[in-house]
Structure 1
Amino acid sequence: MADESLIKIDKPEEEVDDAYSNDDLFKISSWGADLSFRELIARYDDNELIKPELQRHYVWDRVEASRFIDSVLLGLPVPSIFLAKTSEEKLLIIDGYQRIMTVRDFVKGVFSDDNTQFVLSNSKRINERWRGKSFAQLSEEEKRKIRNTTIHAIIFMQQHPAKGDTSMYQVFERINTSGRSLLPQEIRNCVYQGPLNTLLFELNENKKWRAMWGDENRDSRMRDLELILRFFALSDDYILKSDDAPYNISLKKYLNEYMGEHNVPSEIDGMREKFKRTIDFVYANFGETAYHNISPSDSTKYILNLSSTVFDAVMIASWKVVLEGFPARSPQEYQKLKMEVLRDESYQKILSQETMRSANIRRRVNDMFAALRG
């Protein structure tokens, strides 16, 4: 995984602190259930218990994992987990993935972190009766104890509104107890499972996109995935053309809603083609500095960090150029036109101030588009 410190994105403050209170009134039912690890493992293997797609990388080391197995064998209480019941009658793991996978891995005999044999650590923190042992080396009574240990699950389901999973996003955001605060796209990846989520992972492997992102390895916090989603969402006619677009949008809320509404198979091929054609154009004409702003001290040079608002302008304007088929220019001409736009003081203001005003989104796209089309 790429070290998240290697890639920096300049985001206006309103995007960084984009907390919102959803005014929708939800009807959520919740209940408790005591599930044995035997049942949880079986459900997981039958694809009825779902982990977030590529979001929850196994993060416990062998000592931490062994310590948890040790606690189970000692009969110590196991913390509750949170599950969400989906419309497909499956259970989505909201909180508790590390605990479930640790027991499953131990029973199966393979440690997820490095795909080696899972034997308990020889650490002094582990009871000496079990140090260095695999599941197969335990007594039959100890094996049954692990399989039959129950863990309390709090299960919830959104009943109203019937469409969308916005309540699930907020529940996940509030109750998740992993060791770090999850970024919005990490939560979306957990909540909005489906074809659009899978497409984002596919598109994120595009070599030209990775070159412009600045790292061949995907970002461990999914900020690269969020930019791809942002391109689709902000290039939507609802933002660029509709009179119904709000004066200001909450980017976090809007991306949540967009992902929920467009997570359908019928839209995937068109979105894939749109992204590929745009990336091909942007990479050919702007190269690896495509999404960078100019330096305040030297307008002939680009700053090191990516700019989220320059990304909007270049990507969406380029898509419009591709779509409308204007006569081709040389990369040098396109880069000169981009520089001229970025040198405009008023344009710099809409790149950094009130960036989520619908009018400012439209202007930063349209001004760049007008320049590129000549």
Structure 2
Amino acid sequence: MTQSTDGRDATDAEDDEALPDELVDEANEDDKLRPEDLQGLVLYSLDWSVQSILERIGDTFDVNPSFQRRDAWSPSRKSSYIESVILGLPIPQIVLAEDPERKGRFIVLDGKQRLVTLKQFASPNEHFPSFKLRGLQFADGLEGMTFADMTSSLMARDYAENFLAQPIRTVVVRNWGQAAVLYEVFIRLNQNSLPLSPQELRQALFPTPFTFWINKKSAESVLIHQARRAKREDFRMRDAEMLLRFVAWKEGIATYRGNLRQFLDDACVRGDDNWKRRGPEHYEILGALCEQAIARTFMVFGDDAFLRFEKGSYNRRFNIAVFDLMSVVLSDDAVTDELIQTHAREIRGAYEDLCSNDEEFQSSITATTKSIDSVSGRFLTFAGRIEEILGVNLQLRAGVEQLANARS
């Protein structure tokens, strides 16, 4: 059983129905860090009491309550962690990064779920709902209790006081300089464990109304979950990344320069600016377009939607490059549901033909996103076939052609 640095079993929140990923598209190798990029990096350790940490959650430690819809731990796992803290048993350290833009604020690199669990248990509110201890191995006298129960019980009061006084070891990263350094730290923290999406860190780096909307909209979207064949929101935030990628391609495809991580970070910055200038209605429209494109893809491909076609059959793994392609092209203003319904068989046939007989297209949906040629090529090739089949001129073509010319 694989376990993450946050004490999370790979099977805890994994949806058995969800399609596994064929590609891990956002590799840290895109950032090409050099030794000198790490020269100013400083790490230091702090021990805070649980009481001190509780006072900092939501202020010093920015644990956004909107993340709670992606609660990854079961009540029994939360109870086990609380029991360990109460009894002073070994627990993993929390890793933080100082935020240079907001003095006194820390970005949580590793340990968010532990902080959430502490808050839910000892200082619950409407955003951090309380839970009762269950399945305890050693402190069975606390079984079924909340923290409020413990403090009001003569038998358990000492346990409550001991819990608040327990030290929590934290490691703090200072002078990290650029986001790429934090991504590298984040990835190394999770090597040999359950892979985590950089989207989780991105939400902490850019805590704005736009990223809050990305998180909330993707968590609530039945169609985005359906694209991955998932029953619920993804605790690794892959659904949030899917929506962010759609928005990024729609708004800035011509600006892509071969670094997907930076491209999506830039989309968050641009999204915050557009949110202020154009309001949330602009992004609600884009969210609706994404869902419409997903529905159209299922209209054409059924159970084979968002999969790669190879050797006469569909690979049963979710392909994020195919998702990008279908969602962006089929959401174009020139495309209608009626055209999709009328030409569904032709569209499916064209895609299968490209996957089978066009080597450049085949490579473009499996190759790294570092290649601008591959990215622009996949969009131009598929868009061209859609234009021929539907008899329309796609509006996205201008942006894609600008992207292709960026190599010149």
**What is the TM-score when the length of structure 1 is the normalising length?**
0.74
- Cα offset for 1:156? 3.2
Correspondence for 1:369 among 377, 380, 383: 383
Spell out, residue by residue over 1:318-363, the C-alpha distance to the aligned partner (whole angstroms, 9 max, x if none).
Answer: 23x31x5789625131441342243031133432345542122112
Which residue does 1:340 correspond to in 2? 350
Spell out, residue by residue over 1:255-299, the C-alpha distance to the aligned partner (whole angstroms, 9 max, x if none).
Answer: 34544554453375433312312432552465244423445226x
Correspondence for 1:6 among 17, 34, 46: 17
Structure 1: gaps of 5 or more residues: none
**Root-mean-square deviation (Å):** 4.0
CA gap 1:331/1:294 in 2 versus in 1, 3 angstroms: farther
Structure 2: how far apart are the matches of 1:278 and 1:103?
37
Structure 2: how far apart are the matches of 1:178 and 1:100?
23
- What amino acid is the match of 1:230? R
- Cα offset for 1:317? 1.5
Which residue does 1:255 correspond to in 2? 264
Structure 2: how far apart are the matches of 1:132 and 1:316?
50
- Cα offset for 1:42? 1.9
Counterpart contact for 1:192–1:260, Cα < 8 Å:
yes
Which residue does 2:177 correspond to in 1? 160
Structure 1: how far apart are the matches of 2:122 and 2:217?
35
Counterpart contact for 2:79–2:134, Cα < 8 Å:
no
Which residue does 1:39 correspond to in 2? 52
Structure 2: how far apart are the matches of 1:39 and 1:99?
14
Counterpart contact for 2:19–2:229, Cα < 8 Å:
no
Spell out, residue by residue over 1:31-50, the C-alpha distance to the aligned partner (whole angstroms, 9 max, x if none).
Answer: 44432222211222x54422
Q: Once structures 1 and 2 are overlaid, which stretch shifts more, 364-373 or 283-292?
A: 283-292
- What amino acid is the match of 1:276? A
Which residue does 1:203 correspond to in 2? 217
- 1:331 partnered with 2:344: no
Which residue does 1:358 correspond to in 2? 372
Counterpart contact for 1:34–1:153, Cα < 8 Å:
yes
Counterpart contact for 2:206–2:268, Cα < 8 Å:
yes
CA gap 1:280/1:142 in 2 versus in 1, 3 angstroms: closer
Trace 1:115-130 onto structure 2 (pairs within 5 A).
115-118=130-133, 121=136, 123=137, 125-126=138-139
Quick check: which one's helix share is greater? 2
Quick check: which one's strand share is greater? 1
- Cα offset for 1:154? 2.9
Structure 2: how far apart are the matches of 1:56 and 1:306?
23
Q: Once structures 1 and 2 are overlaid, which stretch shifts more, 56-65 or 32-41?
A: 56-65
The sequence identity of aligned pairs, in percent, is 15
Structure 1: how far apart are the matches of 2:84 and 2:268?
36
Spell out, residue by residue over 1:2-28, the C-alpha distance to the aligned partner (whole angstroms, 9 max, x if none).
Answer: 74442225535x738664454373644
**What is the TM-score when the length of structure 2 is the normalising length?**
0.69
